Amino acid sequence: DVQEFGNAESLLLDLATLKHATNNFSEANKLGEGGFGSVYKGVLVDGQEIAVKRLSGTSAQGLIELKNEVVLVAKLQHRNLVRLLGCCLEDNEKLLVYEYLPNGSLDKFLFDPIRRVQLEWSRRYKIIEGIARGLLYLHEDSRLRIIHRDLKESNILLDEDMNPKISDFGFAKLFDVDETQGSTSRIAGTQGYMAPEYALHGAFSTKSDVYSYGVLVLEIVTGRKNFGFQASGNAPDLLGYIWQYWNEGRALELKDQSLGDVFHAEEVLRCIHIGLLCVQEEAVQRPSMATVVLALSSYSVSLA
Ligand code: ACK
């Protein structure tokens, strides 16, 4: 029912148009698998490039999540969030249409042996800062106040200027001003990025997003994985891990090619510090995203 989408009628797109744009969802147009199903590249008749997310499965749960996502994301506009352009629910299809981001996900860049070289330090820092701003907007500045719940590299897309944009709001939940925490029996996050209280008890909050953000920061700085909590019980030895990374001289890979051989040790350490603060076991001890953004931006100001 279109009415359930509120003012989203203008967001409804025609199935024939989307089939034409994606060559009938051909394999050649497939970008990959996302959280909800396959993602296809498309080009509209006016030349505009789009990414079409085709929801798989016909469960009621899937449809509810889709509607949730459409209503939420359509209202959000921020330079660090992927724009939702529209959706289509014709013929049992459940399609979400997004702006197309040519550089794909941070996951591919960060952990690809060739492409990671393109991520010199100044870019990594901007990505760390951009994700923080997008997340702060979700948590506090958008009128909706949203907890993302599944923040990880594959949900961070990069635009043509390598500006990061957070995607996949299907698991995000609206929360009221006086109900800033939730609990769910259906845990929607990803192992290794979920805060302990969320992975173990389903308790999510803005602070569980902060935890995932901390894991992201440590992974973006070091190019390594597995900084997050594992439900199997093995607590990651964060400091040992980072110390080893530092000793191996891997940090020196992060020198800024555009500035010659300048190595931003202070910035690198600052980001590691912020990452470690964010992945503290006790949620109350983690900083808010407002504090993180301030720490990152006041630092770049003081460097200038
Ligand atoms: O790393 P990628 O190339 O970037 O592979 C994944 C894949 O689809 C499954 O999520 C890509 N993808 C998702 N959304 C978009 C988008 N809006 N623009 C471009 N690529 C996208 C993602």
Q: Which of 103, 107, 269 is nearest to 192 (CA)?
A: 107
Torsions phi, psi for 194 (to 5 deg): -80, 140
Of the candidate ranges 106-115, 130-139, 263-272, the one whose mean pLDDT is the lowest: 263-272
Q: How far is CA 149 from the centre of its chain?
A: 10
What's the pLDDT score for residue 258? Answer: 52
Task: List, for residues 95-118, the tens digit of each pLDDT value.
Answer: 889 999 999 999 999 998 888 878
Nearest-atom number in ligand 1 for the CA of 154 is: 1
* Ligand 1 and 166: CB distance under 6 A: no
Q: Which of 15, 95, 92 is nearest to 59 (CA)?
A: 92
Give 7-10 contacts, CB < 8 A, sequence gap 24+. Answer: 8/70, 8/71, 8/74, 8/87
CA distance 152 to 103: 16
Q: CB neighbours of 271 closer than 8 A, spacing ≥ 6?
A: 125, 128, 217, 220, 221, 296
At 256 the three-state DSSP class reads: strand
53 is in an annotated binding site: yes
CA distance 208 to 263: 32
Give the mean pLDDT of 52-67: 69
What is the CA angle 68-15-51, rounded to 5?
65
User: Which is more confidently placed, 52 or 90?
Assistant: 52
Catalytic positions are: 150
Cβ atoms of residues 157 and 246 within 8 Å: no
Cβ atoms of residues 197 and 208 within 8 Å: yes
Q: CB neighbours of 15 closer than 8 A, spacing ≥ 6?
A: 88, 90, 91, 93, 95
| pLDDT over threshold 70, residue 66 | no
Q: Using alpha carbons only, how large is the chain's radius of gyration in Å? A: 20
User: Which is more confidently placed, 88 or 118?
Assistant: 88
**Mean confidence (pLDDT) of the chain:** 81
* Ligand 1 and 104: CB distance under 6 A: yes
Q: For a substitution probing ligand 1, which of 22, 29, 38, 39 has the most ligand atoms within 8 Å of its CB?
A: 39
| pLDDT over threshold 80, residue 250 | no
Token pair, residue 301, equals 């100001």
Predicted complex: ipTM over 0.90: yes
Torsions phi, psi for 252 (to 5 deg): -70, -20
| pLDDT over threshold 60, residue 176 | no
What's the pLDDT score for residue 129? Answer: 97
- Quote the ligand 1 centre to 38 CA distance (angstroms): 9
Q: Whose CA is nearest to atom 19 of ligand 1?
A: 101
What are the start-end ranges of the H helices in the chain?
A: 15-21, 60-74, 106-110, 121-136, 196-201, 206-222, 238-247, 265-278, 289-303
CA distance 288 to 283: 10
| pLDDT over threshold 80, residue 130 | yes
CA distance 38 to 187: 21
Q: Which of 42, 171, 172, 34 is nearest to 105 (CA)?
A: 34
Q: Whose CA is nearest to atom 5 of ligand 1?
A: 32
At 4 the three-state DSSP class reads: helix
| pLDDT over threshold 60, residue 186 | no
DSSP string, 78-126: -TTBPPEEEEE-GGG--EEEEE--TT-BHHHHHT-TTGGGG--HHHHHH
